[in-house]
Amino acid sequence: MIDKLAELNRVLLAVKDFADDDGSASVKAVIEHCKSTVIEARMPNHEISISFAEQIGLLTTRGGAVSLTENGLGFVDLNPGSLYDLSEGQKRLLLRICYLHGALRKQARGILKEFSKALGADALRWSVYDSSPLPEEWAAEHLHQLGLLRRREDGWEVRAEYTKTVAVFLEEGEGWSEDKFKEYLKEKEEVGKLGEDVVRAFEARRLTAMGHVVEARCVRRISNVRVNAGYDIESFDGPSPAVNYDRFIEVKAARGPQMHFFWSQNEIQVATRLGERYWIYFQGAIDVAKGIARNEPIMLRNPVKSVLGDGRFKTTPQGLIVEAKMTGPPIAKH
């Protein structure tokens, strides 16, 4: 891992200076040029510097050639004097596009979530004495070089001008990238049907235990008939002489035990219309290989009223993402 972020200027300026008409430069030529100049008695591993610049989206390499990306060009433009040290504009750009959003967002969040509000002061601090260990200390050093953190005798403090920025960043949660959302859709397809079968069986047991055998036998999956219904299972709250369904269940299934699912706009609209009759059952701990669930579902009634606005929900352009440190109880052994 690169230890001094100013090394980005050394390699990016070399790429710019040695670039051909197509904007690419020889990796070998760039490295040789960087080796020819000693700065601050430092001679770092320039291959690592190039690899890091590529990781954070400032460079792209192909074969033996390297070129500046759009972000890389913008980064260089913020250093009109071609200086080694990062300019203030470069620091702010890196902080936003690489650490608060971008390739190193996860690492920055892992560091900053360990900070807490200082007693009697409007400041965010981390102390070696009373805070959890930092997962990746190099990330804290990077944030220090970018001006977000300052050193204290006992640890780190978020600079005052960045306190609100960090608070908003942490409120965003981990979020879902496009790749993560695609993974979710793939998992939904793999575990969704099994989750619906498990919930249908759960509902049948629930109603049977209440003495409503007919209703238990009438619980049905609707998702295989109406994919846009906005829910998956039709069931009953209790006895229903006319066997009219009055519990409409949207099943959210996942391999992991902790609540984590996506709620679409269509499902939200249907939930709004059905009110108290609409439920979300989160069926976690799905074991696809064995065709079972290890936990009972978490049941959320009328989620539009009961949980919208809760901090576990994060707004996205497609709908709502639910993330919560909640798991259903283990299924009782018989």
User: Which CATH number is 294's domain given?
Assistant: 3.40.1350.10
For residues 210 and 75, membership in a common domain is answered with: no
Is 147 in the same domain as 247?
no
Identify whether residues 190 and 292 lie together within a single domain: yes
Of 62, 93, 124, the position where a domain reaches its end is 93
| Rounded Cα distance, 227 and 7, in Å | 54
Residue 1 pLDDT? 80
Task: Assess if residue 45 is contained within a domain.
Answer: yes
Q: What pLDDT, on the 0 to 100 scale, is given for residue 298?
A: 94
Of 117, 152, 171, the position where a domain reaches its end is 171
In whole angstroms, what is the distance from residue 213 CA to residue 176 CA?
43
pTM, two decimal places: 0.56
Same domain? For 219 and 310 the reply is: yes
Residue 332, in any domain of the structure: no
The amino acid at 32: E
User: 69 and 133 in one domain?
Assistant: no
Report yes or no on 330 lying in a domain. Answer: no
Instruction: Report CA dihedral (193, 199, 202, 204) to the nearest 10 degrees.
Output: -80
Q: Do 41 and 157 sit in the same domain of this protein? A: no
How far CA 201 is from CA of 27, 37, 89, 207, 294, in Å, comes to: 61, 71, 59, 10, 14
| 328 within domain boundaries | no
pLDDT of residue 55: 94
Q: How many domains does the chain have?
A: 3
Same domain, 149 and 192: no
- Whether residues 125 and 227 share a domain: the answer is no
Rounded distance, CA 155 to CA 294, Å?
Answer: 43
- DSSP 3-state percent helix, strand, coil across the chain (nearest 5): 40, 20, 40
Of the candidates 314, 249, 254, the one whose C-alpha atom is nearest the C-alpha of residue 280 is 249
- Residue-number span of the structural domain to which 15 is assigned: 7-93
Assess contact for 230 and 269: CB atoms under 8 A: yes
Alpha-carbon Rg for the chain, nearest whole angstrom, is 27
Q: What is the CATH number of the domain that holds 55?
A: 1.10.10.10
Of 316, 253, 246, 250, which is closest to residue 277 (Cα–Cα)?
246
Same domain, 308 and 209: yes
As a whole number of angstroms, the distance between CA 129 and CA 108 comes to: 21
Amino acid occupying residue 242 = A
DSSP 87: P
1 found inside a domain: no
Are both 48 and 67 inside the same structural domain? yes
Domain co-membership, 79 together with 134? no
Q: What is the DSSP letter of 330?
A: B
Q: Is residue 2 part of a domain?
A: no
Residue 260 resides in a domain: yes
Mean per-residue pLDDT pooled into runs of 10, the chain (334 residues): 92 93 91 83 84 94 92 93 93 92 90 83 83 88 95 92 88 67 68 91 95 91 80 93 92 88 88 96 90 92 86 68 82 64
Q: For position 275, what pLDDT does the model report?
A: 95
Does 331 map to a domain?
A: no
Q: Which of 245, 247, 239, 246 is nearest to 214 (CA)?
A: 239
Same domain, 282 and 194: yes
CB distance 200 to 221 below 8 Å: yes
Query: Alpha helices of the chain — where are they, by DSSP H?
Result: 7-18, 27-35, 46-55, 70-77, 88-94, 105-112, 137-145, 163-171, 178-209, 213-218, 265-274, 303-306
Domain stops at, among 171, 195, 229 = 171
